Structure 1
Amino acid sequence: MSDNDHEDGLNRRHALECMIWAGTGVLWTISGGVPKSLSLLDGAEAAEAAKSGFTFLQISDSHVGFNKAANPHALETLKEAIGRINALPAKPTFMLHTGDITHSAKPTEFDDASQIIGSTGVDVHYVPGEHDITDEATQKAYLERYGKGTSGGGWYSFDSNGVHFIGLNNVVNLKDFGLGFLGHEQLEWLEDDLRPLSASTPIVVFAHIPLWSVYPNWGWGTDDAAVALGYLKRFGSVTVLNGHIHQLMQKVEGNVTFHTARSTAFPQPAPGTAPSPGPLVVPAEKLRGLLGITNVAFKRNESPLAITDTSLAD
């Protein structure tokens, strides 16, 4: 290993530590699949990052209907998150919601979520979480609401400003420990979807359960993700956005940057620090520091993605 490679490795490790532990969020520029930490979140810097391109927001794990001790007011913290979005000086081009819109897939929960999230006036692209699809009936109901124009079980792609976005469903037919699963039909579709694209096309994949093995014993990973990632190897810049684990984590493997988002409802414990995953009760004054949203900026000329995580306490 050269000195430069060693230095790059140290810089990446430092950047990852900042992403995981900085409560106020980190502004990221991603070029060629490698992230660079610019600074702790500053509104002027975020605006500058988006000046020559476009921005989109990721929101995740709203769990509308949740009212347990970890956050008896999940609907209110979702409203706070949406209020942050409505207060932005420039609206994002669109939003991605990476699943668990609801807590128990009830029609009233979906209705409440649609009313609150829809108040932004921004287009929203959804993928389901395991709390949104609990059986065949709720899967049908989910697709009736959000599946228009999608393929199979609700997977789809679209293009925006030179970036190819791919929404996947990995919450049906869960495997051991609740690991996510894509399945043969969806993987074939993904391979066909990517085939005509140039290797220089920036790719953003979004799904609920992480596509990397965060902690398989808790179901924090996707059983057949390696097949999907194999199809993405030829692309120079790939960003994978997920929810499900309710905390910030990032990993870089070659050309792929994996990024998990906070929930707007409640935190979960760090991997392996509790007997099992699930709602983590924290002192009320600390809760909003563990909830938040993710802002992503794309600069057309340089093809980077700048990822900024903002907690509700900021």
Structure 2
Amino acid sequence: MIRELAMEFARVTEAAAIASARWMGRGEKEKADDAAVVAMRSVFSTVQIDGTVVIGEGEMDEAPMLYIGERVGAGVDPKVDIAVDPVEGTNNVSRGLNNAIAVVAVTDTGGFLHAPDMYMDKIAVGPKAKGKIHLDAPVISNLKVVAEVNDKDIEDLTVVILNRPRHEKIIKEVRAAGARIKLIQDGDVAPAVAAAMAGTGVDMLLGIGGAPEGVLAAAALKCLGGEMQARLWPEDDEDIKRAQKLGIGDINRLLTMDDLVKTDDVVFAATGITDGDLVQGVRFFGNGARTHTVVMRAVTGTVRFIDAIHKLDKKPFTYRR
């Protein structure tokens, strides 16, 4: 993939974040999402790629979502696969809560697991714990490993878990081990990525969240040298059929990093909509806005943080939708 395209993908997530941030705290999550989709689609059309959305928000008949199978870009080489979530954490935007981001990951054709829209059990850790944790291991075992490799006491670890009834057992086990917990309401991509970045205060992500979000997080972890292990978590027969339709034969198979993201030629970009563990949210002033974006490439391992100021009167109308 052409190196210069990384900045183009940052432009895409910046546009979505600015558009969505205008709806922060207004209780209108659908409008926040729609604004981000329109802005993201508009800027994508200017990027010199022939892209296909393989991880998206829905099927073709659910427009205006960026749907699975949608073609994006200017229609010129290189051909790439796109994983996208214009607003990861729509409820967080509507309530003015932390960790809402606009996110894109891009790789060679066939580079992503085509994850169905269903649940996925996950564990995410940083580079030092790579190869030393296991999704099926007891919680205490994984905590001991992460503490040891990071030269910490278990009591100093912070584990991020979605605040859901299905996680009561995990929460009890983490607390019994003495580790700290940050419970989140929505949006597990940013904390999964934060687990692999020094200085974020996050050491591990545990629990069941969205499968598409798992692939997006895995793309970033591939860039950072971290690790995610996962397993699809179907709720019913329809989920199983959906997975099989996308070519996943064994629904119970442990998914490794190389299953989730099959190549090192991957770019990840995320712009903060609201403040969070990974990036800061959008700030508006006068006719301008300030954004904070992280862009990564797995080939080089480079991580860039982009602090940008935008003059909105010179931007496309989609920013002001």
TM-score between the two structures when normalised by the length of structure 1? 0.31
Instruction: Give the strand-richer structure, 1 or 2.
Output: 2
- Bigger RCO of structures 1 and 2 (CA < 8 A, at least 6 apart): 1
